[in-house]
């Protein structure tokens, strides 16, 4: 304890401040306990600020000075690893690529197009989304299944991106530190001044101070939410989404709230919602006008070089090159404007003319969103049997439910209930209706593989890999099918697919696990052990990862390059593991709280 705190205690002990309890009875005891607790709280806060052992950041005049971008990134990555340790993250490559592509489209159109964002899906059916320090943005699976359009989902992501870019988390922490200490000191002063009074001044001071802190937090939250709405709507419009989707997402959440009665969606608890907020979102969206997505290429401009186009861009005409950006945006906006005229008017009135400034983004985009929505619904289902019954019953009883997306969800549910042959038959019909859909063909290949039709499945995977080279979901599924054959030649073929992906997506635990198994079958035990340790680290089992690497480093047959690589990784992980040990409870010395979930394998 700092010397100045000890000196303060001695001086106040000599002061011998007496509180007369005889006339106040039990209230006096409650008052003394409350005053003592508040005094200790104030001393603790002030002592922590002066204690050299507590490394508090220098607030300064800006919230950005609280932490460096690297520190924020490390915090967010640690949070993600801990969530994976408790199996709270949906690590599906198809959904992961979808949510990140959607998120980065928004980030690229924001005021701060920082490439350091990472988007992921939380295994939770509550309707919620949140942003963490370091650019980590999470969307609950329940939020995705509740949204009706991709624009609504994009609106929520744009809102959370705005929280990160406007540094709301740091600003809230900065404001709390600035305001809480003065208010607490003021409360303490009133309590000490009223020690000899017989009224309720002290209790009133405590209630007032607590209310001031809470009201300050509420006001700060409301201001942050309003700012995130404004910035998010601008980002939506720039990215080519419907800016009215922000209000549409809020209305969707209100509908869920009304249907569920008092079961308010979690998103509304973290993000206060009222009719004024919806009205403000609509008004701002109408001011921005319609989105201006990139104009599609004309048929003669479309490339014929396959999925990987390395040709030079087509030169635009001189008029297009000299057109100012505002004029180009106006032309795009006018092209998106649609006019609808009723065939006949009512009575003697002229036919009604309706002008729509925001054109729909197209059926393929909405169709793919609906596929991903149903995939999310199936993957987070706690009971595969109940999910299969959900689709089967609705497909039988409701003709409007019979859509491609719901049929796709039904097929995925059949695979989960180990009815892969029936799933393959269902998916073949869907692929026949839309043979260009990579998601449907990938699901068919997986169903054929699960049904035991290995040759058909590998043929489907090979054709998908040729059409979509470098696609993570396809390459990972293809490699897993090859690894399942458990022979060295198939494992080497899987490694050819996985090596480029590991270089680009080194933070994918499922990819690292498949890479480890393929190396193990191919005979590279050292590389396999490294990949297993990396998967353990990414899944939140830092202690286990470090122990695996230390055991590996003791092998006598390591080459110079292998030993250097392993030692370098041990040096990287050791500080993080020591920090986690320090944060763990005293009763769990030498182990991490995450170890309750078992080691990753």
Cα dist from 504 to 54, 157, 508, 540, whole Å:
38, 24, 10, 21
Strand partners, 138: 120, 130
In a domain, 535, yes or no: no
Burial class (CB within 10 angstroms; exposed 0-12, middle 13-18, buried 19+) of 37: exposed
In a domain, 234, yes or no: yes
Asked whether residue 163 falls in the same domain as residue 278, the answer is yes
3-class DSSP assignment, residue 385: helix
Residue keyed to tokens 């038959």: 425
Residue 95 pLDDT greater than 80, yes or no: yes
- The predicted pLDDT at position 170 comes to 63
Return the structure tokens found at 437: 């859909």
Q: Please tell me what DSSP assigns to residue 89.
A: B
60 — phi, psi (to 5°)? 70, -155
In a domain, 181, yes or no: yes
Residue 368 pLDDT greater than 50, yes or no: yes
Asked whether residue 439 falls in the same domain as residue 574, the answer is no
Asked whether residue 167 falls in the same domain as residue 183, the answer is no
Residue 274 pLDDT greater than 60, yes or no: no
- The predicted pLDDT at position 7 comes to 46
pLDDT band at 449 (very low <50, low <70, confident <90, very high): very high
In this structure, what is the dihedral angle of CA atoms 468, 473, 477, 483, given to the nearest 10 degrees?
Answer: 100
Asked whether residue 213 falls in the same domain as residue 229, the answer is no
Among 528, 533, 534, CA closest to 507 = 534
pLDDT band at 576 (very low <50, low <70, confident <90, very high): confident
Strand partners, 339: 355
Tens of pLDDT, residues 536-567: 999 999 999 999 999 999 999 999 999 999 99
Among 288, 320, 337, the domain-final residue is 288
Asked whether residue 136 falls in the same domain as residue 240, the answer is yes
- The predicted pLDDT at position 90 comes to 95
- Give the integer Cα–Cα distance in Å for 60 and 597: 41
Known catalytic residues are 160, 229
Q: Which is more confident, 155 or 72?
A: 155
Asked whether residue 242 falls in the same domain as residue 123, the answer is yes
Among 253, 288, 323, the domain-final residue is 288
- The predicted pLDDT at position 374 comes to 97
In terms of average pLDDT, the best of 34-38, 164-168, 272-276, 324-328 is 164-168
- Give the integer Cα–Cα distance in Å for 257 and 265: 6
Asked whether residue 120 falls in the same domain as residue 233, the answer is yes
In a domain, 34, yes or no: yes
Mean pLDDT of 83-90: 93
Among 256, 288, 320, the domain-final residue is 288
Kindly report the three-state secondary structure assignment for every residue of 307-372.
Answer: CCCCCCCCCCCHHHHHCCHHHHHHHHHHHHCEEEECCCCCCCCCCCEEEECCCCCCHHHHHHHHHH
- The predicted pLDDT at position 290 comes to 55
- The predicted pLDDT at position 365 comes to 85
Question: Structurally, how many domains does the chain consist of?
Answer: 5
CB atoms within 10 A of CB 20: 10
Tens of pLDDT, residues 303-319: 334 444 444 444 444 44
Asked whether residue 164 falls in the same domain as residue 262, the answer is yes
In a domain, 212, yes or no: yes
Where would I find the H helices in 337-452? 363-379, 384-397, 404-416, 420-433, 438-450
Beta-strand relationship, 129-132 and 136-140: antiparallel
- The predicted pLDDT at position 71 comes to 81
- Give the integer Cα–Cα distance in Å for 346 and 585: 76
- Give the integer Cα–Cα distance in Å for 496 and 482: 11
Asked whether residue 212 falls in the same domain as residue 148, the answer is no
- Give the integer Cα–Cα distance in Å for 278 and 244: 10
Mean pLDDT of 183-202: 51
In a domain, 132, yes or no: yes
Residue 13 pLDDT greater than 80, yes or no: no
Return the structure tokens found at 599: 């080691």
In a domain, 141, yes or no: yes
Q: Please tell me what DSSP assigns to residue 302.
A: S
The range of the structural domain enclosing residue 232 comes to 66-173+224-288
Asked whether residue 275 falls in the same domain as residue 166, the answer is yes
Asked whether residue 441 falls in the same domain as residue 518, the answer is no
Contact criterion met (CB below 8 Å) for 592 and 581:
yes
pTM value is 0.69
3-class DSSP assignment, residue 149: coil
Lowest average pLDDT, out of 204-208, 281-285, 478-482, goes to 204-208
Strand ranges across the sheet with 129-132:
118-122, 136-140, 129-132
In a domain, 57, yes or no: yes
Asked whether residue 96 falls in the same domain as residue 144, the answer is yes
- The predicted pLDDT at position 306 comes to 42
Cα dist from 190 to 12, 177, 199, 203, 232, whole Å:
16, 21, 12, 10, 44
Residue 508 pLDDT greater than 80, yes or no: yes
């Amino acid at each position: 304890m700092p010397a100045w705190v000890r000196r303060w205690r001695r001086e106040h002990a000599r002061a011998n401040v007496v509180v007369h309890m005889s006339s106040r009875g039990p209230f006096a005891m409650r008052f003394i306990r409350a005053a003592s607790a508040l005094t200790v709280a104030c001393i603790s806060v002030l002592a922590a600020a002066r204690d050299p052992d507590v490394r508090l950041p220098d607030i300064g005049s800006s919230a950005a000075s609280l932490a460096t971008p690297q520190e924020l990134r490390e915090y967010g990555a640690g949070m993600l690893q801990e969530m994976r340790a408790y199996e709270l993250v949906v690590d599906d490559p198809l959904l992961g690529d979808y949510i990140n592509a959607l998120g980065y489209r928004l980030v690229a159109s924001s005021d701060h197009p920082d490439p350091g964002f990472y988007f992921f899906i939380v295994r939770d059916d509550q309707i919620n989304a949140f942003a963490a320090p370091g650019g980590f943005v999470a969307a609950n699976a329940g939020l995705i299944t509740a949204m009706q359009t991709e624009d609504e989902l994009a609106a929520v992501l744009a809102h959370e991106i705005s929280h990160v870019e406007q540094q709301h988390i740091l600003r809230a922490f900065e404001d709390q530190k600035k305001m809480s200490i003065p208010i607490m000191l003021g409360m303490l002063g009133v309590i000490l001044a009223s020690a000899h009074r017989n009224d309720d001044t002290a209790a009133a001071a405590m209630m007032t101070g607590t209310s001031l802190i809470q009201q300050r937090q509420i006001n700060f939250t409301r201001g942050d939410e309003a700012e995130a709405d404004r910035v998010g709507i601008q980002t939506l419009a720039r990215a080519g989404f419907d800016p009215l989707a922000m209000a549409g997402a809020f209305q969707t959440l209100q509908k869920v709230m009304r249907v569920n009665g008092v079961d308010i969606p979690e998103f509304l608890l973290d993000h206060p919602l009222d009719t004024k907020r919806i009205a403000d979102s609509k008004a701002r969206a109408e001011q921005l006008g319609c989105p201006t997505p990139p104009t599609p290429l004309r048929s003669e401009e479309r490339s014929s070089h396959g999925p990987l186009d390395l040709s030079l861009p087509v030169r635009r005409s001189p008029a297009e090159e000299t057109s100012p950006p505002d004029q180009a945006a106006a032309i795009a906006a006018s092209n998106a404007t649609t006019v609808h005229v009723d065939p006949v008017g009512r009575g003697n009135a002229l036919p009604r003319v309706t002008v729509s400034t925001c054109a729909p983004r197209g059926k393929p985009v909405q169709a793919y969103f609906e596929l991903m929505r149903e995939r999310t619904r199936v993957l987070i289902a706690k009971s595969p049997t109940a999910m299969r019954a959900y689709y089967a019953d609705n497909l039988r009883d409701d003709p409007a439910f019979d859509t491609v997306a719901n049929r796709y969800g039904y097929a995925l549910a059949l695979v989960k209930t180990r009815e892969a042959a029936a799933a393959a038959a269902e998916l073949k019909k869907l692929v026949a209706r839309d043979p260009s859909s990579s998601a449907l063909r990938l699901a068919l290949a997986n169903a054929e593989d699960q049904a035991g039709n290995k040759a058909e499945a590998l043929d489907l995977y090979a054709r998908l890999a040729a059409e979509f080279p470098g696609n993570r979901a396809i390459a990972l599924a293809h490699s897993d099918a090859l690894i399942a054959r458990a022979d060295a030649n198939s494992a080497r073929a899987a490694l050819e697919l996985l090596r480029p992906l590991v270089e680009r997506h080194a933070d994918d635990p499922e990819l690292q696990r498949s890479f480890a198994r393929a190396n193990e079958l191919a005979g590279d035990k050292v590389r396999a052990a490294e990949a297993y340790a990396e998967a353990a680290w990414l899944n939140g089992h830092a202690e286990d990862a470090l122990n695996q690497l230390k055991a590996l480093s003791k092998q006598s047959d390591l080459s110079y390059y292998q030993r250097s690589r392993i030692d370098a990784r041990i040096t990287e992980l050791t500080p993080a593991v020591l920090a986690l040990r320090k944060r763990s409870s005293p009763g769990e010395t030498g182990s991490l709280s995450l170890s309750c979930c078992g080691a990753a394998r």
